[in-house]
Amino acid sequence: MHIKPRAIATVLCMIFFIGFAVCGVVRSTDKETSEIRQSYPVLAEAEPVIMADLLMESPDLEPEVKKEPDYPLTQEEIDLIALVTMGEAEGETELGKRLVIDTILNRIDHPSFPNTVYDVVYQPNQFSVMWNSRIDRCYVMPEIVELVKEELLERTNYDCVFFMAGGYSKYGEPLFQECCHYFSSYD
């Protein structure tokens, strides 16, 4: 038995057309749809599905809303740490900024220092930016706010509580230098 190529092409076209009709890709008039359903009973119960409907109803295509984690500090406290960090470490590396943030957070947690952001930052003679008027030229940088939030979730260093530019503080045990700052732990 020899099958002609034209017959194969006709059958394939019909299969292709039926597939598109089932999926609703080929839009047809009500009369054409009725004729197709009469010719192919399996289609009589099938509702046409339109690709746009599939896309709209797919739960996988919903945009994912990322929920902000719960931070142990208020946004105002986070902004204050970011402001002090800009003042103290604006020209420092990202690591240097993180370590300044950690110094503030570590002091809040340490029993020898006040236990609030405000009290730690405004403690007399602690952060030079707070008493040498540099703070007046600083602003809250969004990228430093993000660093503060990241450090709140996982700190880079839990030991540093002192830092100075140019050399180690006379307080604490020297730890390491990062760029222009020298970091120390509590005695």
- Are the CB atoms for 161 and 185 separated by under 8 Å? yes
Sign of CA dihedral 150, 152, 156, 161: positive
The arithmetic mean of pLDDT across residues 7-34, rounded, is: 53
pLDDT-based confidence at 43, cuts 50/70/90? very low
Tell me the C-alpha distance between 55 and 135, whole Å: 52
In this predicted structure, the answer to whether residue 38 has a pLDDT above a threshold of 70 is: no
- pTM assigned to the model: 0.65
Q: How do residues 116-126 score in pLDDT, each as one tens digit? A: 999 999 999 99
Sign of CA dihedral 120, 122, 127, 129: positive
Mean pLDDT for the chain overall? 81
CATH class as words, domain 75-185: mainly alpha
pLDDT of amino acid 54 = 47
pLDDT-based confidence at 65, cuts 50/70/90? confident
Where do the CATH 1.10.10.2520 domains begin and end in the chain?
Answer: 75-185
pLDDT > 70: what percent of the chain? 66
Tell me the C-alpha distance between 162 and 103, whole Å: 6
- Are the CB atoms for 181 and 96 separated by under 8 Å? yes
